[in-house]
Structure 1
Amino acid sequence: MSIRIFSARRIVTMDPSLPEATHVAVRGGKVLGVGPLEELHDLGDYELDERFADKVILPGFVEGHSHALEGAIWKYLYLGYFPRTDPTGRLWEGVKSLAQMQQRLRQAAALPAGEPLVAWGFDPVYFDGVRLDKRALDEAVGERPVVVFHASLHVLSVNSTMLRLSGLDRHAGVEGIMLGADGCPNGELQEMAAMHGIFEALGRNLFEEVSSVDALRAYGAVARRAGVTTITDLYNPLTDAGIAALREVAAADDYPVRLVPAMSALAWPADQGVARLQACSEWSTERLHFGLVKLMTDGSIQGYTARMKWPGYHDGHPNGMWNAPPEALQQFVLDYHQAGLQLHIHTNGDEAVDLMLDAIEEALTLWPRPDHRHTLQHCQFISQAKLRRAAKLGVCLNMFANHIYYWGDIHRERTLGYARSRRLEPLASALRLGIPTAIHSDAPVTPLGPLFTAWCAVERRTASGAELGTHERLSVAQALHTITLGAAYTLRLDHLVGSLEVGKYADMVVLDEDPFEVAPDRLRAIRIAATVLGGRVHEN
C-alpha cells in the first residue's frame, strides 16, 4: 500500500500535541504521520505531492447541523430576502418586498395545468407588518395550488386553492393552522403537525425528498465546495427508501463527504424508532455513520414559533408552540437515553431549553451515563444559569452562529430587545464553562459554509453591520475548533475526524490563505481550493 505525503505552507492539525506541521503522510485513507518532511522519511518509500505547497491545510470541516434538503430544495423557486447562489452557480437576487415576491411567483407559474407551485425561503419578518396569507398568494397565483416555505422551514403559507385541495380550509381551531379576522384559516401553517395536511394533499412530504440519490449527490457537491468532509442530515425520517439512498451514495468511490444522518424522533413511536436506529447500526461504514436521533421541540425565534420564558417576545407577540406536548417530548428523551442512543435536540427558545435540561437530568438520574453527549441544537437563547446547568449535566451545544448575521437586527429590534439580544448564541460563555461546543449553518435555512459560520462567531456582526454581543466573540482559533474537532465531538466522531492525527481519516480542507494571517473580517472570504477525503483529492 503506497504512501503519499502532502506538503503545504502550513498545516493546522487541531492536535494539541503537534499543532502545526508542513507535511502529512497518508496510507490506506488514514493519516500515517505528521511533521516536517525530514521526520517522515522513516515511514518508507513515498510519493511527495506538492500541489498544495503554497497553501494552508486544515482538518476537513465538520458541519454538525444541516439538512440534505439543501440538495433537493433548489428545484423549487427561491424567495429569500438575501441574495443566494444555487448549486449551479446562478445568483438569485433577494426578494425585498411583497410585490417582488408576487411577481417572482407569477413568472414561475408557467407549469402544466394544476401542477402545484412550490417556493421557499420567504421571510416575512423583514417586511414590517406583513404576514404571508392566502390573499397575498391569491393575488399572485390563484389558478393553481401554491405552497411557500418560510426561511426557517417551521412555517409555510398556501393560497386558497391549496387550502381547498388539502381540506384545511375547514379546520379552524387546530393548533398551527392560523386564522384570519373572519375566523377562517388564513393560509399560514406553523410547525410540522399543521404542515402534514399539505403534504398529504401534494402526495409527497417535502422533508422526505432527502430520500433521493440525486438530492444526496447534490448535497455532497455543495458540501465539498464549502470545504466540508463530514456532514450531517439532522432530520432524516430513515424510511426504507432513504436508507437505501444513503447506502448507495456513501458506497460510491467518488462521493466527497462522510454522511451522518440523524433519525427524526417524531416520525416514529419511540419503541419503533429505537429499534430502527439500532438496526441501522449494522449498515454504518467509513463514510456512513448511523446512531443519532433528532428531537424537535419548539420552532424559531424569528418566526415567532419558539417557546419563550417571561417576559416573552420583546414586541409582545404571543408565545410560540411545541411540536409535540411537553410531556411527550420529555418521554422521548427518557426512552432514547435509556436505549443508549445519542439525542440531538432542537431548542431555540429558553423555555424549550428548560424543558430539555429537565428531561436530561431526569434521564441521567434514572440511568447514569458518563459520556452521553446529548446535544442542544441551535440553543440560540439560553441564560448563564442554564449554561452552568448544561455544563454540570455534560450536555454539548451546537449553536446557530449564522443566525447573528441573518436575524441579529430583527432580534435587537423586535423579538428580544437590547439586553437579551446580547446573549444570543453565547459562545464565549459556553467555552469558558468547558462545554463542548460546535457551530453550524442549518442549511438550507442559511447557506452552507463553515468559514462564514466561523466569521459570524468571531465578528458577531449583523446584516446591517452592527456588532451584537461582542463579549461573546470567539477567537479565530476557537472558531476553527468549533467547525472541526468541536463539531466532530458532538457527533461522537472525534476519534475519526476533526483533527490530523495518526490513525484518523485523512480528511483535509485546502485554503488559499491562512486564516490566522488574514484580518478576521476576511475569514469568510478565504477561497476553498480543494478537499481531501481519505487521501483522495477533490479540487474546486
Structure 2
Amino acid sequence: MEGDEPEYVEAVVQREGKIIFVGSKEEAFKQFEGKAQKHDLNGETMMPGFIEPHAHPVSIGAFILGNDIVAPHEWRMPHKTYPAATNHEEYIQGLKNIVKESKEKDYVLVWGYHQAWHGALTKEDLNSVTNTIPLLIFHRSGHEFYLNDVAMEKYGVDTDKFESKDQINPKNNHFWERGFQELKTKFISPVYADKERISLGLKRMSQMMLQNGITAMTEPSFPNSEFHSEYDLLKSETENYAYAKYYLIPGFPEQFTLKMSNEDFHAYIQKMSQYNTENIEFLTDQFKSFSDGAIYSLALQLKDGFANCPHCHAEWIIPPDMHKPLFDFYWDKGYKLHFHVTGDKGLEVVLDMLEDAQKRNPRENHQTTMHHLGLFDEAQAQRMKDLGAEASVNSYYLWALGNKYGEIGFGKERAARMTGMKWLTDRDIPTSVHSDFAMAPAEPLTLAWVAATRVTDNGTVKRPDLKVSVFDAMKAITISAARTFSKENEIGSIKEGKQATFTILKENPFEVDAMHIKDIKVQGVVYKGNFKVNKANNLKK
C-alpha cells in the first residue's frame, strides 16, 4: 500500500511480531522451509491491518454500545440492529419502546437524536416518554445532551452553576459544546463512570473491531471525561482482547475540565507514557484541539452561513481569540497538532493560525492534521498543501448528510461537495478516512467505499468528479491512516521491519466493482503474528 498503485507479493514471513521477509513464494520456501509454520490464503486477500485513525472507543463508542440507539439511519451493532427513526413520531415511539424494555435500569440513555430528521426536542417530549425514570438523550453529534426533569433532579443539575451560559438552555434541559463538557464533569459523571455498562460496551467494541478488520485505533483527545475511569476500563479490555492497539492523543477536553494552564498540561502530557502497555500507547508529542461546532448539530461555522435553517446556530468550541494562544503554545513546543474542523470558516481560522505560526516560527514536516473536513473548497485544499497541512476526513458525512443537508443547512451545491477528498489526494496531501465512532460506523471498508463512490443514503451519487481512486481510498485506511498519527514507519504497509499485523479479506478490493467494496467479508486479522478468526465468516487457517 505504498507508492502509486497496488503492489503484490506472494509470501510474507514474520518472527516475534515483526515482518522479516516479503517476496516470492519460491524464495520464502528456500529460506524458511522447515523453520516456519505455513498459512495458505487459498485465494483470499491479505492487506495491512486496517487502521481507524480517529475514534472514541470509551467515552463515546463504549458509552453508546453499552446503552441504546434511536437514530435517523439503521445501526447494525454486534449485539443488535437498531431500526431507523426518520421523523419525530418514530423517534418518540422508539424512546418509549426502549424505556418499556428498561424497567430494571436506574436510568435510560439513548444516542442518535438529530433535529433535521426528528424535529425539535423539548423537555416536555422527554417527560411524556417517562416521568419516573431518568432519561438522558445523547445527540447524534456526540456534542449535546437533553435530560428529562427526573434526570435533572437525580443528578442535581443546577444551571446557575454553569460557566458556559451561552451554550446551555435551562428552559429545555439542553446542553451543548462547552456546556455539555460542564454537564459531563460536574453533574452526570456517574453515568460516564458506569463501569458495568461501559465494560459491556467495550466488549462489543472489540467484537466490532474484529468484524471490521480493525487492528489499530487512535483516539484524539483522550480522555473525554475522567482519565482513570476511562483508562482503567480500556486497559482491562485490551487484556481480554489483545488483537488491536490503541494510540491515545491528549488534548483540549481534559485540559479544559482540569482547568490547567498550557505549561502545566504540557508537563502532565509528558508523564503519560507511564501508562503505556503492550496494546496502549500515549502519543506524548501530539495534541488535539477544536475549532468550530459539530456538523451533526448544524453548529459548524460556514463562510456563507446556513441555508433554509432558521434554528441553526454556528458555534465555536474554542473561540478564535482563545484558540490562538493555545495553538501557538503547542506549536512552539514542537507538538504534532490535530484539529477538529467541520465547516469551511472553521478551517479558515485554523489555516490562518497555521500560516501565522509558520511565519513566526517555521517548522518543516510538522504534519498538522485537519480532522473531519465536512465542508471545504478547492482553494482551501491548495492552501493546506502550501502550508504543509494533512487531512483525516469523515467520508461518511456525505452518505449520511448529503441529501438532508441539501434541504436543511447547506443547500444543494454545498451539500453535494461535502468531504471533497479528491481535492486533497490530487495535491498529494496525505489523507486518511475515519469514523469518529460513533459519528460513523467503525467500518473501514464502508468509509473507503463512500470515498470511492460518493454514494448517499438514498443511493444517489453526489459530485462524481470528486470520487477518489480505489487505491487512494484503501490507502486512507492503511498507510495514510498510519501517517495521521505518525506511525507510518511501524504499521500500514507490508514491509520488512514493520509489524506483522494484517487484515484478511474474502475478496480483493482492487478486483471487484467499487460499489461492492463495503460488502467484502472480513475473514479475520493477524495481530503481531497471531491469528484471530472472525468466526461469523468461517475463516480456516
TM-score (norm 2): 0.89
Cα distance, 1:325 vs. partner?
A: 2.6
Counterpart residue number, 1:272: 264
SS in 2 for 1:49: coil
Tell me if the contact between 1:330 and 1:359 (Cα under 8 Å) persists in the aligned partners: yes
Counterpart residue number, 2:171: 185
Counterpart residue number, 1:39: 27
CA distance in 2, matches of 1:253, 1:195: 30
- Are residue 289 (structure 1) and residue 281 (structure 2) matched? yes
Equivalent pairs counted in the alignment come to 519
Cα distance, 1:494 vs. partner?
A: 0.1
**Correspondence for 1:116 among 107, 113, 117:** 107
Counterpart residue number, 1:263: 250
Q: Greater CA deviation, 451-460 or 17-26?
A: 17-26
Tell me if the contact between 1:226 and 1:528 (Cα under 8 Å) persists in the aligned partners: yes
1:5-404 matches, within 5 Å, as 13-14=1-2, 19-44=7-32, 45-68=34-57, 69-88=60-79, 90-109=80-99, 115-127=106-118, 130-164=119-153, 165-168=156-159, 174-178=165-169, 185-197=171-183, 200-204=186-190, 206=192, 215-237=201-223, 239-247=227-235, 249-250=237-238, 252=239, 254-268=241-255, 269=260, 270-284=262-276, 287-291=279-283, 292-404=286-398
Tell me if the contact between 2:66 and 2:201 (Cα under 8 Å) persists in the aligned partners: no
Cα distance, 1:431 vs. partner?
A: 0.9
1:360-385 C-alpha deviation (Å, 9 max, x unpaired):
22233333221221111101111222
CA distance in 1, matches of 2:81, 2:475: 31
Cα distance, 1:281 vs. partner?
A: 3.1
1:427-506 matches, within 5 Å, as 427-506=421-500
Name structure 1 gaps, 5 residues minimum: 1-12, 179-183
Cα distance, 1:173 vs. partner?
A: 9.3
Cα distance, 1:230 vs. partner?
A: 0.9
1:34-59 C-alpha deviation (Å, 9 max, x unpaired):
12211223534433533422201111
CA distance in 1, matches of 2:381, 2:310: 26
Tell me if the contact between 2:327 and 2:353 (Cα under 8 Å) persists in the aligned partners: yes
CA distance in 1, matches of 2:160, 2:126: 15
SS in 2 for 1:397: strand
Cα distance, 1:171 vs. partner?
A: 7.5
- Are residue 531 (structure 1) and residue 525 (structure 2) matched? yes
- Are residue 410 (structure 1) and residue 404 (structure 2) matched? yes
Cα distance, 1:272 vs. partner?
A: 2.7
Cα distance, 1:228 vs. partner?
A: 0.9
CA distance in 2, matches of 1:372, 1:217: 36
Q: Greater CA deviation, 461-470 or 483-492?
A: 461-470
CA distance in 2, matches of 1:56, 1:490: 25
TM-score (norm 1): 0.89
Counterpart residue number, 1:9: none
Name structure 2 gaps, 5 residues minimum: 535-541
CA distance in 1, matches of 2:180, 2:275: 34
Counterpart residue number, 1:6: none
CA distance in 1, matches of 2:519, 2:458: 18
Amino acid at match of 1:259: Y
Tell me the C-alpha RMSD between the 2 structures: 2.7
CA distance in 2, matches of 1:18, 1:468: 27
Over the matched positions of the two proteins, sequence identity in percent amounts to 23
Amino acid at match of 2:67: Y
Tell me if the contact between 1:59 and 1:500 (Cα under 8 Å) persists in the aligned partners: yes
SS in 2 for 1:463: coil
